[in-house]
């Protein structure tokens, strides 16, 4: 298993599990607690989410507060452009983002710790995405940032995504009161 910090946000970790393939297909461990703890991912996952989307769908940017969620994101079919944004009030990287292409071909995973918003857009015809969470979903704690926030300047690989009604109405990061954002604990 290879592990490295993302390009911009060192708290966000890219994981490339070992894949064993032959003429039958391949085998890979999607998660192994001890190995991931050795890599610095020391959370207890309590919920797995599965998302199926078509090409051009953009989901996000989502977060939960105060019941924050760390996530381990991976693709079992297709390809996505995955994004994490630091939304921790007081963080030296507040408002900065990082991205990685995750696919069923490259087998990469993205670990997004608490304090970050998450979103992705589908690059392939369809995609099946799984993300493990270390906290349950609390609808009343749902938060989000508009995907096209000009202050973030995310370089999405599409200009007219397919969005949910909820995601179309999300605010810009600067419009969210600090009391509705996690704090940076340094």
What are the residue numbers of the active site? 62, 131
Tokens in use for 41? 């991912």
Helix (H, G, I), strand (E, B) or coil at 175: helix
Give the C-alpha separation, 92 to 153, whole Å. 17
Tokens in use for 79? 């390809």
Give the C-alpha separation, 175 to 85, whole Å. 15
Q: Which of 178, 181, 180, 173 is nearest to 96 (CA)?
A: 173
């Amino acid at each position: 298993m290879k592990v490295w910090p993302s390009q911009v946000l060192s708290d966000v970790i890219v994981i490339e599990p070992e894949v064993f393939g032959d003429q039958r297909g391949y085998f890979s461990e999607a998660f192994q607690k001890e190995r991931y703890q050795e890599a610095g991912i020391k959370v207890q996952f309590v919920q797995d989410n599965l998302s199926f989307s078509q090409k051009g769908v953009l989901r996000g940017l989502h977060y939960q507060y105060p019941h924050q969620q760390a996530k381990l994101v991976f693709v079992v079919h297709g390809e996505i452009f995955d994004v994490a944004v630091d939304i921790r009030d007081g963080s030296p990287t507040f408002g900065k983002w990082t991205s990685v292409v995750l696919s069923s071909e490259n087998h990469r995973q993205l670990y997004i710790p608490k304090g970050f918003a998450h979103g992705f857009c589908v690059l392939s015809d369809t995609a099946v995405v799984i993300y493990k969470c270390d906290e349950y979903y609390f609808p009343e704690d749902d938060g989000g940032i508009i995907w096209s926030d000009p202050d973030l300047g995310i370089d999405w690989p599409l200009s007219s995504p397919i969005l949910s009604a909820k995601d179309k109405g999300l605010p810009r990061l600067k419009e969210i009161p600090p009391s509705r954002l996690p704090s940076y604990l340094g």
